[in-house]
Structure 1
Amino acid sequence: MRIVLTLLLVIIMFKTEAQSSVLTVADSLYLNGNYSKAISAYQSYTNQDEVYDKIAKSYVALGNYDQALHFYKLNIESYPDDALTKYEYAKLLSKTKQFEASIEVFNELMNIDYRNPNYHYEMGLALEKINDSTAINRFRTAYDLNDTHQKAIFKIAKYFLIKRKHEISHRYIDKGLETYENNVELISLKAQNYYYQDYYKDAKVWFQKLIDLGESSEFIHEKLSILYAEFSEYEQAIAQRKLVLNYNPYDSNSLFVIGTYYERLNDFDNAEKYMLRAIKLKDVPLDHEYQKLGIVLNRQQRYKEAIEAFKVSLKENPENISSAFFIVTTKDHYYADIDSKIKAYQDFIDSYPKATFLSFVKLRLAELEQEKFLKVKE
C-alpha cells in the first residue's frame, strides 16, 4: 500500500512540476514576443481557467481582438470578481467600438470600486464616442478623485476651450502643468486659449514652447506664422509658413500669404513668385489675388504687367471697382501721353459714377486738364 501511495504522490508531483514548467515556458514566450507560440503553450496547460487572461493578452498583442474578447469573457465567467481583467475587457470593448457594452462593464467596475479614477476616465471616453454629453461628468469625477490625472485634465480643459470659457480652461491647464510641465497636449491648449482670446504675445510664447519640445504640425506652424506677422516679424512668419508647405505643398493660401509677407519686406521678386504659384493652384475667383499681384508689379515699376494683372482681377470679379481704379492710376504712371491719361480717368467716371474713389479721380482729372491747358498756352 505504501508503495502505491508513494507512486501516486510521485505522479502527482511530476504532473504538477510539468504543468508548472509549461506555464514558465508560456510566460517566457509571451515576454519575448512569441505570442502565437505562447498561446499554444497556454492552451496545453491543464487548468485552462487559470490562463484565460494570459491567452487574451497574447491575442491582444497579436491584434486579434475578437479572440481576445472571447478569452477575457471566459476569464470573467470563471472569476467574476477579477476587476483587473474586467478593466482590460472594458477598454478593449471600447477600442473595438462596442461602446455601450464597454460602458456597461465600467458601471460594474464602479460598483466594485467607485473611487478608481481610471474607471471614470475610460467610461468618459466611451461616452464621448457616442456623443453623450455626460462624458464630461466622468472626466470631472476622475479629476476629483485624482487632481493630477493628466488625461482627465486635458479632456476638461479642452471642453472649456471649445465652450470659449478660457479662464476656466486655463485653471485646469495650470493645475496639470504643476505636476507635468512638459505636457505638450496641455501646452497646446494653453497656446490656443491665448490665441482665441487675442492675447497674441502670450500665444506666441506657448506655441514656441511646443516647437522647443520638438513638436511640429501644420496647425502649430500656421498659427505661429500668423502670430509673427501680427508683430511685423515677417522673416519668422515666412519661415513658419514654409514649414506648413512641408505638410501641404499645394496649399495655395499659404503660398499667397508668403507672397504678402515678402511684399511687406519689399522683396517684390519673391512676392511675385509666391503669388503666381498660389494663383495657378486656385480654382476660385481670383480677383483679390490678381489685384495684389498687380500692386506688387507696380512697386517694381512694371506698369504694363501690372495693368494686365488688374484687368484679370476685374474680369474675375467685375464688381471689384478697386481693380478698375488701380488700372487707371497705373495708366497714369505708364502713359506718357497726357490725353491718354485724361481719357482713362474720364472713362472711369463714366463707368463708375458712384465709385468710392470718385473724388480722387475728379481731382486728378482736373490736375491733368490744367496741366494740358498750360502746355497748350505755352
Structure 2
Amino acid sequence: MKDENTKEREEHIIELVSSFCDDNLNDEYKELCIKLVKKLARKHDVPFKRGKVEIWASAIVYAIGQINFLFDKSFEPYKTPDDICSYFNTKKSTVSNKAHDIREMCDLGHFDEEFSTCDTMESLPTFTFDENGFMVAHTPMDDYLDEAYELFDDGKIDEAISMLDDIDKDNHEYEKALFFKSFFLNASGTKDKSSEAFNAFLSEFNENVDIKSIVNGEIDENNPEELFQEALFHNNIGNYDKAIHYYDLYLKILPNQTEVLNKKANVLIELKEYKEALDVIDKALKIDSKNDELWTTKGITLYQLHKNKKSMKCLDKALKINPNNSTALSQKGIIYFERNQYKSAIKCYDKAIEIDPEEIILYTNLANMYMDLDDNEKVEKCFSEAEKINPKDIGLLCEKGEYFLMEERFEEAIECYDKCLEIDSKNVDALLHKSMALAQLDREDDFEECMAKIMMINPLLLADLEEEFR
C-alpha cells in the first residue's frame, strides 16, 4: 500500500502533466500521460517516490511523446524536447535519461497498443504489393521524404533541407533523413562533414543510379547491379548486416565476382567476423590469385586473428603484384612497429605516403608511431603535413587533441576539440576528450556543460565517465 507522501507525489505529477497537456497538447495525450503515471504508481517500488516531481512529470510527457512522434513535425500535435523542459524548468539531458528509464520500466515502444495515440496507430505501416508481387511497407514518413525529394528535384533545395532538419533525432527514420540531407547538400555543391564519405559512396556507382530508389530500398532483387548498389548504400552508412544480405543476394546470381566477395569480406571484418571473412576471401583468391587487393584483405584479416607471420606473407604477395599498394604497405608498417622494428615500420609508411600523399590517416598513424618513440618534433611535423591536406579533418583534429592531452598541453587540446565540434557538434569522442582537458584545468562549469552534452547524445556513457573522473 502506498504511503501518504507517495500518493501526494502521484497527484502532484498528474496535476503537472495535465497542466502541460491542457496548455500544449490535447486530451488524448493527457489521458495517456495520466495512465502512465498510474502504471508507474502500481510498481512494487514506486520510482517517482524519489526525485523532483517536475523531472518526473517532464520525463513522462517526454516518454509518451517519443513513442507517438511528438517531436516529428510531420505529426500533429508537434512539440520539441526543449518545449517540454522549458515548461517544467528542467534540464533536457536529465529528462531524456529519465524518459529512457521509464520506457525501459514499462516496455514502451513505437505503436504500443496501450500508450499510442489514435493518429500514431493510424500511421502503422500499410502494405501494398509491387509489380513483382512482393509485399511492400509504406508509412507517412515515406510521403514526407518523397515531398522533400520533390522539392529538391524542383530546385527548391533550401525548402527540402528545412523539411529534413525538422525531423527529430528520436524519429525512427532519422538516419534516412540525414542521408537525404547529405545527398541534397552534396548535389548542390555545399560541403559538410559527410561530403567525403558521401562522395566516396557515389563514386562507386554508375551514372544512371537513382539515389532515391536506393535509399528507399526500391530494388529489383533479380538485378545484380541494383543489389550491388543497395549493398554499397548500407555498407557506407554502417548498416553492415543489411549490406551482407544484399551482397549475398548478388552472389547467388553472380558467385564469382571477386570485387563483391572482397567487399563482403571487408564488411565481415567491420563486424569482427574474421574467420568468416577469411573463408570469403579465400574463395575469391581461388578465382583470382593475382589480385593484390584480395591478398591485402587476407593480410588484414590474418592480422586481426593475431597471425602476423601469415599476414606478412599475404601482404608481401600483394606488394609483389602491385608495389604501389599503399594499404598493404601501411599494414606491414603496423606489424613491423609491433615487432619493435621501428626503422622498417617508418620506411613502410614513408613509402605509402609517397604513393598516396593525400591520405591523411597515413600521417596520423605515422604520428602515433613517433609518439611511442617520444619524437615530438616528428609527431608535430606529421600533423602539420596532414593539415596542409585538410585542416578540418575530424580524425586528424581528434588525434592531434589526444596528443596534446598526453603532453598535458590542455589549452591546445581544447582548441583542437573545439574545432572538431564546430564541424560536428555531436562528436562524442571530441566532447569526451575535451571534458578530460577541462577537468585537468579545473574549469568545472565548462566541464559540466560538456558532460551534459555527452549525456544528451549518449546517456549510456554515464557509468564510464563517472569511472573516468572518479
Under a length normalisation based on structure 2, what TM-score does the superposition of the two structures give?
Answer: 0.40
- Give the number of the structure whose residues are more often helix, by fraction: 1
